[in-house]
Amino acid sequence: MSECVLTLVAAERGGSQIAFAADEAKRALADLGARVDGIDWLAPLLACDIPFADLAPDQADAAIRAAFAQSSEPVKIDVLAQQADGRRKALLIADMEATIIANEMLDELAAIKGIGAQIAAITARAMNGEVDFAEALRERVALLEDMPESVLAEAASRIRITPGAQALVATMRAHGAYAALVSGGFRVFADQVRDRIGFDLAVANELIVENGKLAGAVREPVLGREAKLATLTLLAVERGLAFDAVLAVGDGANDLAMIEAAGMGVAYRAKPVVAAQARLRVDHADLTALLYAQGYREDEIVGALPS
């Protein structure tokens, strides 16, 4: 069996929990018959690797999560088990809303109009996979008809970059990776996020504006689940990369296809339907967890770019 690695990343640095958890994880792996090496700290009291062999990553992941779940206090530590070879990825495909940024921009526009609860309910159902994404998008956009175009700038001013997003993109690009932002949201916002964070490319839907007002429609075809997978496929082919060389991250049901296709597909603080199906999850740490999962050490991480 090839060598594997278990990466643990704490929600925040410090305290004894991560050190205790690393020791517990090492013991749990050994109890399952794995050959386990020592604990390698990628960032002191924040993130570590535990190399192991003779045990499948899925089994290791499940066992460690189960061990942590039995703790008398909440264990805010992410568990990522995978093959050690090829951890560093050459292509990043990232969802935008509730992943790279904390916002759902349609919800921000709805809040400005005073129909936030109505649109947020549809958003939640779409991200949980309960309704068709494209139909839900058209339904929500129709409710914005006749809003002045100026609301787009007002909504953009509310964008909040997710902690670790800038470091994730800057570090991967500094090591030769290509970074693409793929969004079922709107290009008017995605282009700004691309420029602020430093993505190479942004792909998103286009809101139709007529006579200085939102037309209540989005240009067809709507970019959703299949378009995100198609973007991953196209960019990998253009760069001569196998899907194993791709890191895809997202939180909603329309991200599942690209998450499942990528060599490292990560559900980031995801909706239940996504968390249940994704191979890897980050529930507690910020987006630098995706760098530690690739084996980057703290001194290799490029600092956050100016916002």
What pLDDT does residue 1 have?
43
Tokens of 171: 């570090």
For 94-135, the pLDDT digits (tens) are 999 999 999 999 999 999 999 999 998 898 888 888 888 999
Is the Cβ–Cβ distance between 224 and 232 less than 8 Å?
no
The domain segmentation of the chain, as residue ranges, is 1-85, 88-307
d(CA 142, CA 139): 5
Tokens of 144: 């914005």
H/E stretch holding 8: strand 4-10
pLDDT at 306 over 60: no
Q: Which of 3.40.50.10860, 3.40.50.1000, 3.40.640.10, 3.50.50.60 would CATH assign to domain 88-307?
A: 3.40.50.1000
Residue 304's pLDDT band (cuts 50, 70, 90) = low
Q: What is the mean pLDDT of residues 268-292?
A: 96
Chain centre to alpha carbon of residue 154: 26
For 174-214, the pLDDT digits (tens) are 999 999 999 999 999 999 999 999 999 999 999 999 999 99
For 8-51, the pLDDT digits (tens) are 999 998 778 999 999 999 999 999 999 999 999 999 999 999 99
**Domain 1-85 in CATH: superfamily?**
Ribosomal protein S6/Translation elongation factor EF1B (3.30.70.60)
Tokens of 277: 């199906």
Token pair 């020791």 is at which residue? Answer: 23
